Chains A and B, each alone.
Chain A
């Protein structure tokens, strides 16, 4: 792993850790939700960015993590930290299972995108219908501030926790990207047959990617549940999260270490700015941030290969010349 990839990211996260000193509560809430999406996007990045398997259904993992923590606490009295660990493990398991079924059937490209979307929708419909998940009414986690319950009286503490997790995943991603697994993921993305000829077990590599990806995105779901203390099927398994993590990665630079974090912050920042700007003129307009997200996705694909990170790299190379 090279320091050049990680240091700017760690510095950025360190800077954000100082936010509670200056920022309002509303700003901290905004930062928290952006960072949770960033974490989920870091998960997407391993599968969609490095391994090149575009998933349209990462809500399947996010929701599994969120529901696992909530249900374990509410129905079985499990400690929230243990719930987090189990949620992450379940995310990996769901990822592995979806991967096993679809990669064994040799689904790739659009077919893989569609099948992941369908899996997420199935989970959403089920969560909406069954009592275990609270049905359409959703689940309310009891408010019980205390470190043991993974709830904190101050926003700042939770922000620092989320920042620490994002930083840990950043280091993990850099470590993977610089080593054998990273090389194999990219090889499978670029040319699966050539990779197989060089001794890469493509199925196992992709399964590793989707399990890891599912675990990380599930962790984001767990933290989401602990932060907002409320869930329903359209939040946990809704298409919004599948779409936001994908756009964050593409915008920030999919297949780069720092891309998902930069992308998520930029995306949410732009969305918030658009909402505020328009609210001044026309009052609150629903969906306007999403119009912007969609437009940014198209523009990033059209003009920014490898997203903001790729653009920065090209600019740096241009300056060096």
Chain B
């Protein structure tokens, strides 16, 4: 299972970075989404894949009665997912607006005109 996940993470990172290196804005965002998913899986994998009960110490004991699953990685991943949800939504609105204003999807054609300055 670890090996499978490790390979998946590798593929996600590689394809994410490849997509980010393309010139299209849409592909850049797809690349960022893939990278984000890769990171989430990385945290999941590095938080150890164990089967176990909830990490609650029963009454009257000092240590865990049985093997427990670490609750922190899922909290981290959930937070990361929520944040990337917001950022991706923003990114989609941003490229849509860029496409409307600039009229291109090509990063190379994004060049600015220095003459019209506003405060």
On whether the two chains bind one another, the answer is no
